[in-house]
Amino acid sequence: MTLEAFHEEAPDDSLGMGVPGAAGRRRKQGGRLDGAAEAARITLEGVWHEQNTPYVERPDEDTVAIRVRAKSGDVEGVVLEFGSGSEGRTRTSAAMEPHASEGGFTQYRAEIPVSGGAFFYRFRLKLKDGAMAGCGGVSAPTVWHTPTGDFVVEPDPDDWYVLDVSTFRVFTTPEWVHDAVFYQIFPDRFANGDPANDPVGARPWGEAPTRDSFFGGDFQGVIDKIPYLAELGITAVWFNPIFESVSNHKYDTADYLRVDDSFGDLAKFRELVDALHAAGIRVILDGVFNHTGDEFWAFQDIMEKGPASRYVNWYYIHDFPVRRHPKPTYEAWWGFADLPKLNMDNPEVRRYILDVVTFWMKEVGIDGWRLDVPNEVDHSFWKVFREHVKGMNPDAYIVGEIWRNGAPWLAGDEFDAVMNYVFRDAVLDFFARRKTSTSELVASLEKLKADYPAQASAALLNLLGSHDTERVLTAFEGDRRRMIPAVVFQMTYPGVPIVYYGDEVGMIGGKDPGCRGTMIWDERLQDRELLGLYRGLIRLRRGSAALRRGDMRWLLVDDPTRAFAFSRTCGNETVVVAVCAGERQVTLDLAPAPHPAACNAQAFSDAMTGRTYPVVDGHVKLEHLGPHQAAVLVAGRPDARVS
């Protein structure tokens, strides 16, 4: 644009709606901008919006959420201008909040009430000084972003993004999940309540596990330990597979409609589910639907009858007779002969799996599914799976085992969430392995926030360990001092924390089979201080709407000291979390504002130590935070304590 054009048409108020006359002079002619409009158009680097997830979300029937991305160094703030109606649109505006950062850019987000039909919107960006340096030295205070480009004067009255709200699916995740604390139970290793059903050759409890060893854990053992789970503060349990199988891990299903008799029978499992529900604890099962075991009845029929089996198309059989060795003549998960891959493109297989899902949800009343290796099953099935599950229970939770970025499964038509292994890797790389800086930790987490719909982000299963990884304390080489701030972070960060059985009492062990040892029930062998920390943090989280559901804002990210701080705010409650993962003591000057709840606070109490910190001119001076320590500052609740 020219300097003359800018001075002629620039609005008087940088945050106003612009000069109506200027907008009126720039009509589109035959779908093209006229001369004045072309002169007022610029290119502002990095501004991006698309009408797709996650830039457009519909969190409920009455709300639409809009995002726009801009270069972080260019923009001070963004306003969403919007309206509805085809004639004489009523325009209003809403400030957009910074939502996530990604590679030098910031996403801004706003939630707007809608009533259906056409929704019109565009973006008004207030620029920082120098943001227009590439445009002939012009310093424009405001730029509008529309479908046709970026403008330094108010755009044409017809230049809006238009959204038919009814075409966007509502993506909700179960409300109960947002308040949950999960616990993962590996059934053979948690508790042996009925020695009468122990498998042949069961080993003594506490012996070192092997890949083939059994220890006799069962449903009665879990029933007996429900008071322990309740005291820990657990509100949901994920069971590793419970279906009939020849292995200790049960990922090689022999029959999806039978529980393994080493755990009990169906009546005992119903008793367990009812008892957990009575204690306020939900139940999700491990759905292993990519493959079965080679003992599965349909595969056995193929082994017996060959090409004449009516189930021959349930798998990918390459040659007959079917052979397991030296190399399977069929598709198998990662080439393991005992794990033949199901043909999930076969409509008959799909119907069978959906019938299995129906049985466990309707006949037993489970609350959702954790899906094993879902990335190896076509997306088309998971879309049908979601409709089927949500049709029976809209409140059921669907979470997929995805080890990388899960965005392809989180558009609202497949999973509610994924197991957040990216979170685990980022946290352990920073706290345990010390491979990354503070800013790299934050960048990893912000990338997910930028890529995921907000509903999915709130329901992510944030883990530090599982049956497929080394124990948390082992990842920290036995150094509990360095582990503690990582656990504090897990319990205070957005998403849903999950504890792998035994991590809370300091169990150790490398990857499978080491991480699958029997639960330590002898209190003399438990790390009681660590258990107290878990109990206290879970109690604090469950008592804090801010920690369960609050908006998050980074307050400090400091590489030299390996320190960071963030706030969580919900309504009138604000919690500030500060962590020092470095080797020297730090004093942090934190400004929780502009959150109104933080601005009104007179003091914050550290739930970790009980110490009180006054708020002075909107700042909290957190003094003497030691190496590998964390503070959880709660406003207005001096009684909030972890221990």
- Give the predicted TM-score (pTM) of the model: 0.92
- As a whole number of angstroms, the distance between CA 583 and CA 602 comes to 31
Please, which residues have CB within 8 angstroms of residue 322's CB and are 6 or more apart in sequence? 302, 303, 306, 329, 330
Please report which confidence band the pLDDT of residue 115 belongs to, taking 50, 70 and 90 as the band edges: confident
Among 125-134, 308-317, 509-518, the minimum mean pLDDT is found in 125-134
Residue 46: per-residue pLDDT: 86
Q: Does the pLDDT value for residue 331 go beyond 60?
A: yes
Which residues lie across from 500 on neighbouring strands?
Answer: 184
Q: What percent of the chain has pLDDT over 70?
A: 89
| Least confident span in 105-119, 171-185, 400-414, 555-569 | 105-119
Categorize the per-residue pLDDT at 11 as very low, low, confident or very high, splitting at 50, 70 and 90. very low
Q: What whole-number distance in Å separates Cα of residue 507 and Cα of residue 184?
A: 14
pLDDT of residue 636: 72
User: Above pLDDT 90, what percent of the chain?
Assistant: 82
The letter for the amino acid at 71 is K
Task: State how far the Cα of 434 lies from the Cα of 535, in Å rounded to an integer.
Answer: 27
Q: 321-341 as b/e, with b when 16 or more CB fall inside 10 Å?
A: ebeeeeebbbbbbeebbbbbb
Q: What is the pLDDT of residue 37?
A: 54
Q: Rounded mean pLDDT of 334-359?
A: 98
Q: Which pLDDT band, with edges at 50, 70 and 90, does 538 fall under? A: very high
pLDDT of residue 10: 33
The pLDDT of residue 24 is above 70: no
Residue 25 is predicted with a pLDDT of 29
Q: Give the DSSP letter string of 130-175.
A: TTTTTTTT---SEEEEETTEEESSPPPTT--EEEEGGGSPP----H
Residue 13, both tokens: 């108020």
491: exposed, middle or buried (C-beta count within 10 Å: 0-12, 13-18, 19+)? buried
> Worst-scoring range by mean pLDDT, 183-187, 221-225, 550-554, 617-621?
617-621
- Assign 86 a pLDDT band (cuts: 50, 70, 90): low
Per-residue pLDDT, 310: 97
Beta-bridge partner residues of 145: 123, 150
Confidence of residue 467 (pLDDT cuts 50, 70, 90): very high
**Residue ranges of domains in the chain, CATH in brackets:** 3-167 (2.60.40.10), 291-343 (3.90.400.10), 549-635 (2.60.40.1180)
Distances (CA, A) of 537 to 52, 172, 544, 548: 37, 27, 11, 12
Active site residues: 372, 401
User: What is the rounded average pLDDT of the residues 269-291?
Assistant: 98
The pLDDT value given to residue 89: 59
Q: How far, in whole angstroms, is CA 45 from its chain's centroid?
A: 30
For residues 298-322, give the mean pLDDT.
97
Who has greater pLDDT, 377 or 571?
377
The span from the CA of 337 to the CA of 330, in Å, is: 8
Q: How far apart are CA 250 and CA 240, in angstroms?
A: 8
d(CA 612, CA 594): 21
Give the ranges where 494-554 is alpha helix by DSSP (H): 528-542, 545-549
Residue type, 604: F
Distance (Å, whole) CA 50 – CA 67: 9
Confidence band of 643 (pLDDT split at 50, 70, 90)? confident
Please give the average per-residue pLDDT across 308-328, as a whole number.
Answer: 96
How far is the C-alpha of 8 from the C-alpha of 366, rounded, in Å? 67
Q: Can you give the pLDDT at residue 26?
A: 35
- The overall average pLDDT reported for the chain is 90
pLDDT band for position 48 (cuts 50, 70, 90): very high
pLDDT at 88: 44
Determine if the peptide bond prior to 59 is cis (ω within 30°). no
pLDDT of residue 641: 84
3-state secondary structure of 355: helix
- For residue range 167-215, what is the model confidence (pLDDT) as tens digits? 889 999 999 999 999 999 999 999 999 999 999 999 999 999 999 999 9
What band does 101 get if pLDDT is binned at 50, 70 and 90?
very high
Whether 36 shows a pLDDT value over 90: the answer reads: no
Mean pLDDT of 69-85: 91
Res 6 pLDDT > 50? no
Residue 19 pLDDT class (50, 70, 90 cuts): very low
566 versus 11: which is more confidently predicted? 566
pLDDT tier for residue 133 given thresholds of 50, 70 and 90: low
What one-character-per-residue DSSP string does 525-540 give? TS-HHHHHHHHHHHHH
What pLDDT score was predicted for residue 2? 28
H or E segment and range at residue 92: strand 92-102
Identify the band that residue 91 occupies on the pLDDT scale cut at 50, 70 and 90: confident
613: pLDDT strictly greater than 60: yes
Q: What is the pLDDT of residues 139-161, one digit of tens each?
A: 568 999 999 999 998 888 889 99
pLDDT at 31 over 50: no
Q: In the numeric block, which tokens belong to residue 39?
A: 């002169």
Is-contact 463 501, C-beta < 8 A? no
Instruction: Give the pLDDT confidence score for residue 635 in this predicted structure.
Output: 87
pLDDT in tens, 411-434: 999 999 999 999 999 999 999 999
Q: Which of the four pLDDT bands, split at 50, 70 and 90, describes residue 30? A: very low
